[in-house]
Chains A and B, each alone.
Chain A
Amino acid sequence: MPDFASLLLILSLAFLFLASLAPFEALGWWAGWYGDDEEADSPVNINSNKDNFVVFLTGIHSVSEETYARREIRLLDNLKERLEHSEIIEVFPYSASNRDLTGERFFSWFWKTALKLKMNRLSLAGLVINIRNIFQVTVSADSRYGPIYNQGMAHSIYQALLEAGYKKSSKTPITIIGYSGGGQIAVGAAGYLKKITKSDISVISLGGILASEASLLRLEHMHHLIGNKDRVQRLGYIFFPGRWPIIKFSAWNQAKNKGIINFVDMGPVDHTGKNGYLDGKAILADGRSNFEQTVDVIVEIIKSDMKTEQKNR
């Protein structure tokens, strides 16, 4: 029976070993180990005349492009209903090579089983998925791998946009909503997506765990929605020194000074689950549920950004 110190050492080494494997997918994509990038399928809606495109990047619980979380599905349904001039799509943010965990992968059987167990409320299986995806968030935030991972994501988002009817060179504005870990990936990819599309791009971070990304300085806006009970989003502040006020010239602080970052106080709201941003049962002082408030705030931001962008055109 190993003593406590040995056990801690073994667990730390196992953790670091798994973390060391995390960048390989993005690096392999860059080196072309998975073959050439697929071109977008024929656009589903060739004559899309939407005023803007909204891309949703889900939280770290996800294993594939389409979210299975009931609350997120409801969020997307509500946004589709209220943003009739926007095309809303989803992209799986935890794979630089744009492959679902349950898709064409060697270990897809493992992720399918983990998802099945998670759906049957086995929390350990959910934890495995979360850890795997958290590592991808750190790859996106890492100064060595981030520029590669985020380019991969920008490419995936661009392909998804084309499939949804985005016209090349149309410069139609794009909003990326990133929930939790998806917030970091949204910010990381947005700068590269702007380089490809030349469109105005805004990011809405819903409790996003954000690093100080150089991409921030290329955005029109980054709206950071924060509940004051949300301790998870604070991890970004704790672990990424570029976000500390003392590092004056970090991209984060520059973006803050230039007014690119807009902090939105969501009140006494938590990160997820009960009393989370998407909880429809928790009621706020103004009588709205947390969920209704989140939808209202996102809709208002997108409409207001669209007005500003139309004026600037």
Chain B
Amino acid sequence: MLADIAHYLQLLKQTLFLNRAAFLELSKTGFNIAILVVFLAGLSQALGQSIVLFINKVSKRRFFFSLVLNAIIFTVGFFFLAISISFIVSFAYHQEKALKTVITITALAYLPYLFSFLTLAPYFGSFISLMLSLWNLAALITAVSVVFSLNIYQALAASILGWLLKQILRATIGRPIQDLSKLIKKSIAGKPLEFSKQKLREIISKGKK
């Protein structure tokens, strides 16, 4: 058991450093771990963006529930990306892989987002956020190229198109899901939440009380 955990941790570490062999091995056996990675990455990102909850003056207890909810929403959003990439690769390059494999490798590309909570750091936050996005893109390209045997440019095109398709899906069939998630967010936070930068600035400029 412990040996297994150590083995998987070693593979995850190698995946972080874009090791192709590690991606390939985990694509076959690492489905559950990969999903856990996405959820934890979602939790980390929710923490990194938690300033929104603070500005909205969400209470301590509801704050933690909100983080978990945001992680769940993040995970759902991830499935849209995995499905989009699977569709794009099959449509553009006539490559078919089991959806489970595509989900696994796309999830592994989310490993860098485990560090998303570091975007909370003052001064360095925006830079870290940019670096993590680039790292995620590099991991996604590596993962897609390894599993579908594509070259880097093909994998880059598939990743970008997959991301675009995900945005389209979100804005169309994903809309009811987003509305529902807003409703749940509001009920968990216990109050209507403002998310736009403009509104958040207005709240701060009005002062604490």
From DSSP, what is the main secondary structure of chain A's interface residues? helix
Residue B150 at the chain A interface, CB threshold 8 Å: no
Residue A23 at the chain B interface, CB threshold 8 Å: yes
Kindly state the separation between the CA atoms of A65 and B104 in the bound complex, as whole angstroms: 54
User: How many chain B residues touch A (Cβ–Cβ < 8 Å)?
Assistant: 26
From DSSP, what is the main secondary structure of chain B's interface residues? helix
The answer on a CB contact under 8 Å between B207 and A23 is no
B124 partner residues in chain A, CB cutoff 8 A: 16, 19
Residue B51 at the chain A interface, CB threshold 8 Å: yes
Residue B91 at the chain A interface, CB threshold 8 Å: no
Kindly state the separation between the CA atoms of A16 and B119 in the bound complex, as whole angstroms: 9
0/1 interface trace, chain B 115-128, chain A, CB 8 Å (1 if under)? 10111111111001
- Of the candidate stretches B23-31, B55-63, B80-88, B161-169, the one touching chain A is B55-63
Which residues of chain A in 3-48 are interfacial with respect to chain B, using CB atoms and an 8 Å cutoff?
13, 16-17, 19-23, 27-33, 37
Say how far A218's CB is from chain B's closest CB, in angstroms: 13
The answer on a CB contact under 8 Å between A28 and B121 is no
Closest chain B residue to A142, Cβ basis:
B122
Greatest chain A CB density within 10 A among B58, B120, B123, B204 is at B123
Residue A114 at the chain B interface, CB threshold 8 Å: no
Kindly state the separation between the CA atoms of A152 and B119 in the bound complex, as whole angstroms: 22
Closest chain B residue to A211, Cβ basis:
B123
Kindly state the separation between the CA atoms of A32 and B56 in the bound complex, as whole angstroms: 11
The answer on a CB contact under 8 Å between A22 and B58 is no
The answer on a CB contact under 8 Å between B128 and A145 is no
Kindly state the separation between the CA atoms of A147 and B122 in the bound complex, as whole angstroms: 13
Greatest chain B CB density within 10 A among A17, A19, A31, A147 is at A31
Kindly state the separation between the CA atoms of A217 and B176 in the bound complex, as whole angstroms: 46
The answer on a CB contact under 8 Å between B58 and A31 is yes
Residue B208 at the chain A interface, CB threshold 8 Å: yes
Greatest chain B CB density within 10 A among A20, A27, A30, A32 is at A20
Greatest chain A CB density within 10 A among B63, B115, B201, B207 is at B207
0/1 interface trace, chain A 225-247, chain B, CB 8 Å (1 if under)? 00000000000000100000000
A–B complex contacts, Cβ < 8 Å, 8 sampled: A19-B118, A27-B54, A30-B54, A30-B57, A141-B123, A147-B204, A151-B204, A239-B123
